[in-house]
Structure 1
Amino acid sequence: MPATPQSPLGLFATDELIGEDDRAIRDTVQQFVSDRIRPRVADWYEAASIPARELAVELGSLGLLGMHLEGYGCAGTTATAYGLACMELEAGDSGLRSLVSVQGSLAMFAIWKHGSEEQKQQWLPRMAAGEAIGCFGLTEPDFGSNPAGMRTRARKDGSDWVLNGSKMWITNGSIADVAVVWAQTDDKVRGFVVPTDTPGFTAPEITRKMSLRASVTSELVLDNVRLPESAVLPEARGLSGPLSCLTEARFGIIFGALGAARDCLQTAIGYAADREIFDKSLAGYQLTQAKLADMTLELGKGMLLALHLGRRKDAGTLRPEQVSLGKLNNVREAIAIARECRTILGAAGITAEYPIMRHANNLESVLTYEGTSEVHQLVIGQALTGQAAFR
């Protein structure tokens, strides 16, 4: 009799490393994705349309928006629980995890960490409930990996600020109620809380994407956007402000990318078991098993790394260069797993009947957003040598 098959992460017994409360949160998100997302996401991806506002309210009711933040209607979970939630969301689709991480770890976190009490009270409870959607405007058309070169500028005009410039590749941009926008000023880079109904603010949606199609991506255009002094994030001055938010969001990607990889691997294992070739199950061939074994090894190592970094974050000892280790490794391995899984499915792997090509296409974006692989390599290199090699 053949042995009972085990799940890839079951071989590593990683559940034994996760506390009961964190597992319960993970299982709740997994069920939500199974019931609400999986039956529809292929259609959303093909149509390049997602009911983001409707989903935001549902995600808010589950306590997933800004879930690792304290107060203001946020759930106050552990960072590890947040990571596990990101893993399950991205097992559904990277666009879904992007919706949650941009809302909670970029827009909400920026206001929570750097904002005034008035800004926090005005926005965070509504954003936690999914009643207001946020976006994060840092990247510009010519300045992605080098945000210090941004051209968007804010100038003082009496007691007001006037913003001019543009941002690019902004998740949630055209559906957002509030944008956290970073701009050059005479006093370093500053952050601004911009209600999107402010005159001069527009957010045209970016179309014809081949990746993250089940996600809203936009340009932000600021044409003499006038804001009161109270719109400034008072606790952020210089690039350390936006970079702290990016570190927060990258942490979720460390777990999230593994969700996409796990979904691909489980799909490939199931397909190989059912597919017959030369009168034998594809899963019974040595080359297939070698592929599955190698991919399981990388998935498990990535999960152990993610859990270790999650514990460090919960302990308050996680450093930015360690986040770079996790993002670089786990996204790189996830996209390799997706591509290898596609080979097991053959031609079936390119269809929307299976999630593998959708995950692979999405991971092409995850590989480069919130820090390209090259940038993370240089962050790690600087930590190892003490020398910055960015220029």
Structure 2
Amino acid sequence: MTTTAHGGPGLPQERRLVTEIPGPKSREMFSRKQSAVPAGVGTTLPVFVTKAGGGVLVDADGNSLIDFGSGIAVTNVGNAAPKVVERVQNQVADFTHTCFMITPYESYVAVCEKLNAITPGDHEKRTFLVNSGAEAVENAVKVARLATGRPAVVAFDHGYHGRTLLTMTLTAKNMPYKQGFGPYAPEVYRMPLAYPYRWPGENVAEEAAAQAIDQITKQIGAENVAAVIIEPIAGEGGFIVPAKGFLPRIAEFCKANGIVFIADEIQTGFARTGQMFACEDEGIVPDIITTAKGIAGGLPLAAVTGRAELMDAVHAGGLGGTYGGNPVACEAALGVLETIEEEGLVERARAIGDVMLPRLRGLQERFGIIGDVRGRGAMTAIELVVPGTKDPNPAAASEIAKRCHAEGLVVLTAGTYGNVLRFLPPLVIPDHLLDEGLTILEKAVSEV
């Protein structure tokens, strides 16, 4: 299947290396970065981008790299989708800000109406807009606590929910997200995730759900739990797709005990997995869904969408923020939603998965270093191990990524053990670049 590549006029959809990676101009800028920006703000690949679109990133040295990262699942519709560009340009010319809580504007309401309509479930919903995924998660928990009058929040092993105090607490991985930043927020509890590749038993979904429910019941008390929050596919934790049946069982338990079920769809949302939202795969209807990343084509925007009775429980003034639902970002989001619908990007994500997963499984058959291949749609990953074992092999993941970068393919690492390579190509990537990127990956794996 082919698709339209967006990159502004005249941006060739090709891999082109004119210098080493990174080149001299990028290295010069990186030295400026090091003297101006704290070391704690890391960089995966220090090439400084000047243009991007379709399936490529063009750097300051004129190199054109294939993009298998999408800015961490943000540029699903590409970096310069025409409808996003047009709407943003028009809005900037009209006004950039009023603060929706002071004098509102229609685009904020239009985004909320759209999200109420397209998120799972036909119940009455309300949406409000904030700036980032972490802010959306914090607000979802606020709503759940106020609406239920309960304090406790349950998260899961391998989960990632953000870097603020509460969301850092909800996040499972210590390094680099939590190390040295404690003490953490109270009343957060962590439960086992149905991680098929690493679960010790055979009935993964049943055993993991039973264990989680037993621990919630015995250690916290279901009547004390305001919310359970989970990513339908664990993102930073390693693109772990929970065993079928696990999510529905947890959702049923929540419903039976008056617990708010929050689906964190920040990385999985907006067509990324071959469905508009990943929880649709097993028919999950969350009480609250948090979205960000792919929502606005790269502009800062996030949303909390939930059952009307939960959302309306909050007193006037209890939700909001100066920049939440910025009008420029709202117009971008409307352009993103139009693009997804008009260009069939839900189906395109499935087509990308139909290309990537068989190629990755073929690699797994050839090389014992790949322990697991997983994912859905355009959200796929390989887990690297010491051959003949399930011991995590982060060194191999790092080396493969390094070789891909040198050849002009942007890939990202992930995973609790740092041993996962995750692939998030833009949904508008042309077929030939998808194929070429996979060929570069195959070469890197074979060499390592």
TM superposition score normalised by structure 2: 0.25
Higher relative contact order (CA 8 A, sep 6+): 2
Q: Judging by fraction of residues, say which structure has more helix.
A: 1
TM superposition score normalised by structure 1: 0.28
